[in-house]
């Protein structure tokens, strides 16, 4: 009988997952001897009891067996096979989510998750806000949200955007989604049919590439560089291919960190209107700037209704809530709402009300300041540790990642395998490329690991890379 | 500038929506005089200040204008048009969600929402559980869930199902989704490509019909009656059409309330295996029985992995959380998880932890008992008020609805319009029919309105219907 795991069990769960994952990836094969409890505890800097608990659960779950006075061994078990089994009944039409698979590897030096270290988020205050939600809205858990999203929240966010950018719209032009991934999914469902052409930056957010492909889109790529796009090329593509939409992330771009100029933003809107191509502006990193706030979003230059704007607040407000806002003009919005009603019939009301309270608080602004400072420090630590190499990168002015070009002599795929063995993760550039090339590039996130893990982890990572380039 | 609405504003928002909706539906046309504040306050049994607030906001939003000492009038405004405007940029591929549109009408005698009255749910206790979540999991808001769902929650639910039905599976065979609508959406995304054939009951859950259609499925219907299905017909269709899947709701079926026998359940599994057709079993109403618990789910008879089981807990545990479990065997599950990663990358962690705590509590069982009794009383009140008519229905043994057959002389569509004018809603049978016929049938939910509203509302509804059949 499985017992309910308590909060204090988290480190033990991590060890459990760490070992299980290596077994499933066949890094330890059937009947291989696992590290001893002492060895693993030392290596992971954990208490031996924590490691022992993990081993015991693995034994209980039939993944390992014990030889008295010798140690733990991998048990033979056919269901350890992670490969896709043939579905005996029906085959599935499934496009892989490449980024999601890399994130499955639990490691200690995590440079693959473009997420903010939970310790940097104001967890204690969240708790207060949630309690307050129940005082204000006693029936919040027994009520569904409307499909479009809680009206209070939409009005608050609308007012926020109007104040920030002096644009004119109202709460009807805003849709609440369960994070930006869902927003991208809904937009793809609404506007893409198989063989439609879609413009995507190269490189681009991996899950967006996978989403558009899974809707049958044909991808045409637009290079993004430090200076932005080649707008002559963009115009030529719009004329030639008549794409339905152009999905872009022009502010602290993921993975490159580049930011596109105001001049280019205005020109893009003109082109979109002229060639009847929707612009899908994904702006998840907007508030994560170091020195200066970035240029206004592309949608603020939109008049003809060519832009659909996605602003996720997940990264730095609260990943556990999953709240994003989608802003667009009325005819487009009605279609999105209909699709939203089919994908989940409305985001949970509790999350929206908790988010509303926190978003409306003074504490948010203060905390955002602290996060910016903390992230800038972490970026600088990562960059310091990389100075010893001849690797190339442009230092970003915001966001969560470094986009680093490795010299040719370092083989990226082998680097990934060897790094994971050393409990370090990163994302190879080809994951962000629809053509699956870009292999000298890698994305290193500095936002998740703490300062100590950054120093040790990046040092080790450089050592691993150098050991491969002999 | 829009002010942030507080909890006490809810009645005024209802009035606002009520009036705006009628204006948009053109029940009041441009320059028509609206009811006076006093009239509306009397009719809705609200304070005049509440109604006045609503009128003032409508005026502020340019929907109405005032003639001093005369009253409020509908303002001429092109954006009042609720019809789909031509999208000047890009057209959308959007299948309407018919049920969702009917629910947009705010009324006082609500017999269209198959939801449980929020006053019947243990709101006060929910609050305690949420607070406890933060004590146990302080970082819950700064952490993402895994794509498949929180392991603690999956293990708890797995243990629950194993205890209930003595079936063998583990937490890897269970996926957490944000409600059953999302589960249906993910299943459709995974297994349906355009022109695939899908079996659906007739009548069936409307949003499921719309979902499969929006994935390009061709629908073949299987009649469901009090005795269940005609299995000879089902076998013939499976042989002839080779459908990918059969979506069914065999326990307290929505909208009919029928429950399919154990014998039929076993036979369906045999047919599914023989003809390689997935069974998608939607079991949202399982625990809402009045006298006896229903037969075991179809999936408990599954051995070859032909069944995907959806159990939503939204209706009676907490709509505001949106938690459902999907259970199926391993090859199918891996595909579902990949699609889940693309549709939202994992349900919010907060909701899963709150649900976990409440689901594991003793209080849940006690409350479920109370809900069953309360719903049975409400069903009986509705049935009492309908006895005066010659309308036909089978009294359900569980669930939230009556499925009523009206005599031919009553025109259903006109009945809907007239009912909404009297602030009464229901769902016409054709919404549940892929062929959009079934017009003498209507679904009346007894679960949302309170006992007093049931008595008054059903009486009025009968009067409206009788007035139309002269």
Contact B2 A344 (CB under 8 A): no
Kindly tell me the burial class for residue B253, based on how many C-beta atoms sit within 10 Å of its own C-beta (0-12, 13-18, 19 or more).
Answer: buried
Cross-strand bridge partners of residue B402 = B444
For B153-222, the DSSP string reads: HHHHHHHHHHHHH-----GGGEEEESSHHHHHHHHHHHH--TT-EEEEEES--HHHHHHHHHTTPEEEEE
Beta strands in B301-398 (DSSP E): 307-312, 324-327, 392-393
Half-sphere exposure of A9 toward its Cβ, with a 13 Å CA cutoff? 13
- Encoding tokens for residue B194? 């355009």
Q: Is B137 on the interface with A (CB under 8 A)?
A: yes
Give the residue on A whose Cα is nearest the Cα of B84.
A331
Instruction: Report which of residues B426 and B438 the model is more confident about.
Output: B426
Q: Give A338's contacts in chain B (Cβ within 8 Å).
A: 94-97, 100
Here the ipTM equals 0.74
Query: CB of B212 within 8 A of CB of B219?
Result: yes
Lookup: tokens for A409 = 């002599």
Contact A350 B118 (CB under 8 A): no
**Residue A422, C-beta contacts closer than 8 angstroms, at least 6 positions apart:** A109, A460, A461, A464
Length of chain A: 470
Query: Which CA distances in Å does A375 have to A46, A400, A447?
Result: 26, 8, 6
- Using the structure block, give the residue that is written with the tokens 């009912």: B419
> Of A119, A158, A182, which has the smallest distance from its Cβ to B343's Cβ?
A182
- Pairwise CA distance, residues A205 & B434, whole Å: 38
Which H or E element spans position B247?
Answer: strand B245-248
Q: Looking at beta carbons, which residues of chain A come within 8 Å of B176? A: none
The pLDDT score that the predictor gives to residue A69 is 67
pLDDT digits (tens, 9 = 90+) for B180-211: 999 999 999 999 988 899 999 999 998 899 89
Q: Whole-angstrom distance between the N-terminal and C-terminal Cα of chain A?
A: 51
The whole-angstrom distance between A406's CA and the closest CA on chain B is 30
Determine contact: B151 vs chain A, CB below 8 A: yes
The reply to whether B56 touches chain A by the CB within 8 Å rule is no
Other Cβ atoms closer than 10 A to A387: 7
Q: In this structure, are residues A317 and A311 in contact, taking their beta carbons and an 8 Å threshold?
A: no
- The pLDDT value recorded for residue B470 is 62
pLDDT digits 0-9 by tens, B283-292: 999 999 999 9
Q: B163 CB near a chain A CB, below 8 Å?
A: no
pLDDT for the residue A81: 29
Nearest-CA residue of chain B relative to A14? B151
Give me the residues of B, 327-386, that contact A with CB < 8 A. 330-332, 334-335, 338-339, 341-345, 347-351, 354, 356, 360
Enter the tokens of residue B464: 């409206």
User: Per-residue pLDDT for B93 more than 70?
Assistant: no
Is the CB of B142 less than 8 angstroms away from the CB of A245? no
In chain B, the residue whose alpha carbon lies closest to the alpha carbon of A106 is B146
- Beta-strand relationship, A218-223 and B307-312: unpaired
**CA angle, residues A181, A186, A192, in degrees to nearest 5:** 115
The answer to whether B93 contacts A134, with C-beta atoms less than 8 Å apart, is: no
Is the pLDDT at B164 greater than 60? The verdict is yes
Confidence grade of residue B9 (pLDDT, cut at 50, 70, 90): very low
A218 in helix, strand or coil? strand
Count CB atoms within 10 A of the CB of residue A128: 14
User: In the structure encoding, which two tokens stand for residue B283, read together?
Assistant: 């079991």
pLDDT of A85: 29
Evaluate whether A444 touches A460 at the Cβ level (below 8 Å). Answer: no
Point out the residue among A92, A344, A351 whose CB comes nearest to the CB of B351: A351
Contact A139 B124 (CB under 8 A): no
User: Cβ(A385)–Cβ(A458) under 8 Å?
Assistant: yes
Task: List the beta strands (DSSP E) in A369-459.
Answer: 392-393, 401-405, 424-425, 427-428, 441-445
Nearest CB neighbour to A207, from listed B121, B138, B342:
B342
- Residue A201 CA to residue B138 CA, distance in Å, equals 38
SS3 A280: strand
At A326, which helix (H) or strand (E)? Answer: strand A324-327
Q: Does A274 touch chain B (CB under 8 A)?
A: no
Question: What long-range pairs does B79-83 form, CB within 8 A, spacing at least 24?
Answer: B79/A330, B80/B23, B80/B24, B81/B24, B82/B24, B82/B25
Strand intervals (E) in B38-104 = 64-67, 71-74
| A142 lies within 8 A of chain B by CB | yes
- Assess whether the previous peptide bond of A255 is cis (omega < 30° from 0): yes
The answer, for A243 touching chain B at a CB cutoff of 8 Å, is no
CB contact under 8 A, B335 and A136: no
Decide if A293 touches B, using CB distance below 8 A.
no
Place of tokens 């629809």: A434
A93 to B193: CB separation less than 8 angstroms, yes or no: yes
Note whether B93 contacts A191, CB cutoff 8 Å.
Answer: yes
Q: Does A92 touch chain B (CB under 8 A)?
A: yes
- Residue A191 and residue B344: Cβ atoms within 8 Å? no
A403, β-bridge pairs: A443
Q: Is the pLDDT confidence value at B97 over 80?
A: no
- Name beta bridge partners: A74: A64
Q: Do B343 and A185 touch (CB under 8 A)?
A: yes
B84 touches A: beta carbon within 8 Å: yes
The CA distance from A344 to A189, in Å, is 13
Farthest CA pair distance, chain B: 76
Residue in A closest to B208 by C-alpha: A342
Q: Does A166 touch chain B (CB under 8 A)?
A: no
- Whether the per-residue pLDDT at B69 is higher than 90: the answer is no
Residue A113 CB contacts under 8 Å (≥ 6 apart), including other chains: A103, A425, A445, A447, A448
Token pair in block for residue A7: 């909060």
Distance from the A407 Cα atom to the nearest Cα atom in chain B, whole angstroms: 33
Mean of per-residue pLDDT scores for chain B: 87
Q: Which of A143-152, A240-249, B93-102, B261-270 has the lowest mean pLDDT?
A: B93-102
pTM of the model as a whole: 0.77
Q: In this structure, are residues B92 and A332 in contact, taking their beta carbons and an 8 Å threshold?
A: yes
pLDDT surpassing 70 at residue B90 = no
Question: What is residue B288's predicted lDDT score, i.e. its pLDDT?
Answer: 95
**Element containing residue A247 per DSSP (H, E):** strand A245-248
pLDDT at residue number A125: 78
**Cβ separation of A115 and B144 shorter than 8 Å?**
yes
Helix B48-60 to helix B10-24 angle (10° resolution) is 50
If you measure CA to CA, which chain A residue comes closest to B85? Answer: A331
Q: Which residues of B touch A181 (CB under 8 A)?
A: 342-345
- Percent helix / strand / coil, chain B, rounded to 5: 45, 15, 40
Contacts of A310 in chain B (CB under 8 A): none
pLDDT at B315 exceeding the cut of 80: yes
- Cross-sheet strand order for the sheet of A307-312: A174-177, A324-327, A307-312, A278-282, A245-248, A197-202, A218-223
pLDDT recorded at residue A196: 92
- The answer to whether residue A191 neighbours chain B at the CB level (below 8 Å) is yes
Q: Identify which of B156, B157, B116 has the alpha carbon closest to the alpha carbon of residue B370.
A: B116
Matching residue, tokens 């047919």:
B271
Interhelix angle B180-191/A330-343, nearest 10 degrees = 90
pLDDT in tens, chain A (470 residues): 333 333 344 567 778 877 887 787 777 777 888 888 888 888 777 888 778 878 877 876 778 887 766 778 887 654 332 222 233 345 555 556 666 666 666 789 999 988 899 889 887 777 788 888 888 988 888 888 999 999 999 999 999 999 999 888 899 999 999 999 999 999 999 999 888 999 999 999 988 999 999 888 999 999 999 999 999 999 999 999 999 999 999 999 999 999 999 999 999 999 999 999 999 999 999 999 999 999 999 999 999 999 999 999 888 888 888 999 999 998 899 999 999 999 999 999 999 999 999 898 888 888 899 999 999 999 999 999 999 999 999 999 999 999 999 998 998 889 999 999 999 999 999 999 988 887 899 999 999 999 999 999 999 999 999 999 86
Q: How do residues B343-354 score in pLDDT, each as one tens digit?
A: 999 999 999 999
| Section B111-120 average pLDDT | 90
H-helix segments, A61-173: 98-102, 123-136, 151-165
pLDDT of residue A271: 97
For range B409-426, the mean pLDDT: 91
DSSP state letter for A279: E
Q: Tell whether the model's pLDDT for residue B373 goes beyond 60.
A: yes
User: How far apart, in Å, are the Cα atoms of B317 and each of B223, B364, B418?
Assistant: 31, 8, 34
Query: Is the Cβ of A210 closer than 8 Å to some Cβ of chain B?
Result: yes
A residues 302..331 contacting B (CB < 8 A): 304-306, 318-322, 330-331
Q: Are B120 and B378 in contact (CB under 8 A)?
A: no
Kindly list the residues from chain A whose CB atom is less than 8 angstroms away from the CB atom of residue B138: 7, 123-124, 127
Distance from the Cα of A254 to chain B's closest Cα (Å) equals 17
pLDDT at residue A93, rounded to an integer: 57
How many angstroms separate the CA atoms of B93 and B91, rounded? 7
Q: Which of B87, B175, B334, B100 is nearest to A333 (CA)?
A: B87
**B7: confidence class by pLDDT, cuts 50, 70, 90:** very low
Distances (CA, A) of A243 to A137, A200, A220, A230, B181: 45, 10, 9, 17, 31
Pairing of strands B109-110, B424-425: parallel
φ/ψ of residue B262, rounded to 5 = -60, -40
Torsion angle (degrees, nearest 10) of CA B133, B134, B139, B143: 40
Using 50, 70 and 90 to split pLDDT, how confident is the model at B301?
very high
Query: Quick one: B388 exposed, middle or buried, by C-beta within 10 A (0-12, 13-18, 19+)?
Result: exposed
The partner residue sitting opposite B155, judged by closest CB among A2, A330, A335, is A2
């Amino acid at each position: 009988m499985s017992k309910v795991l308590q909060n204090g069990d988290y480190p033990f769960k991590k060890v459990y997952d760490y070992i299980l994952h290596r077994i499933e990836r066949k890094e330890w094969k059937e009947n291989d001897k696992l590290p001893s409890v002492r060895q693993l505890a030392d290596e992971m800097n954990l208490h031996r009891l924590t490691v022992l608990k993990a081993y015991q659960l693995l034994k209980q779950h039939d993944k390992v067996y014990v030889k008295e006075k010798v140690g733990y061994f991998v048990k033979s078990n056919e269901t350890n096979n992670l490969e896709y089994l043939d579905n005996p009944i029906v085959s599935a039409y499934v496009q892989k989510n490449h980024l999601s698979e890399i994130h499955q590897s639990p490691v200690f030096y995590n440079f693959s998750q473009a997420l903010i270290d939970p310790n940097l988020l104001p967890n204690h205050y969240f708790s207060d806000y949630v309690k307050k939600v129940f005082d204000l809205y006693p029936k919040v858990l027994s009520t569904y949200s409307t499909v479009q999203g809680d009206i209070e929240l939409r009005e608050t966010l609308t007012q926020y955007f109007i104040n920030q950018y002096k644009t004119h719209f109202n709460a009807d032009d805003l849709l609440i989604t369960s994070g930006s991934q869902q927003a991208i999914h809904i937009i793809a469902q609404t506007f893409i049919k198989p063989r439609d052409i879609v413009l995507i930056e190269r490189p681009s957010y991996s899950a967006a590439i996978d989403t558009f492909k899974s809707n049958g889109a044909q991808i045409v790529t637009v290079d993004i560089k430090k200076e932005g796009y080649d707008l002559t090329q963009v115009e030529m593509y719009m004329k030639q291919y008549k794409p339905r939409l152009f999905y872009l992330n022009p502010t602290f771009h993921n993975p490159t960190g580049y930011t596109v100029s105001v001049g280019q933003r205005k020109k893009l809107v003109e082109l979109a209107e002229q060639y009847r191509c929707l612009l899908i502006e994904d702006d998840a990193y907007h508030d994560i700037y170091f020195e200066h706030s970035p240029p206004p979003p592309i949608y603020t230059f939109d008049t003809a209704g060519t832009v659909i704007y996605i602003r996720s607040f997940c990264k730095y407000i609260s990943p556990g809530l999953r709240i994003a806002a989608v802003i667009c003009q009325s005819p487009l919005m009605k279609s999105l709402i209909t699709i939203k009603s089919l994908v989940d019939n409305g985001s949970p009301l509790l999350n929206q009300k908790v988010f509303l309270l926190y978003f409306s608080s003074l504490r948010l602004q203060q905390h955002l300041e602290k996060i910016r400072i903390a992230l800038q420090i972490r970026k600088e630590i990562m960059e310091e540790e990389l100075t010893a190499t001849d690797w190339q990168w442009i230092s970003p002015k915001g966001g969560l990642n470094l986009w680093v070009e490795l010299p040719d002599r370092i083989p990226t795929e082998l680097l990934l395998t060897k790094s994971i063995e050393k409990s370090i993760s990163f994302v190879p550039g080809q994951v962000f490329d629809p053509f699956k090339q870009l292999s000298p590039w890698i994305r290193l996130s500095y936002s998740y690991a703490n300062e100590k893990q950054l120093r040790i982890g990046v040092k080790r990572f450089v050592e691993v890379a150098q050991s491969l380039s002999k």
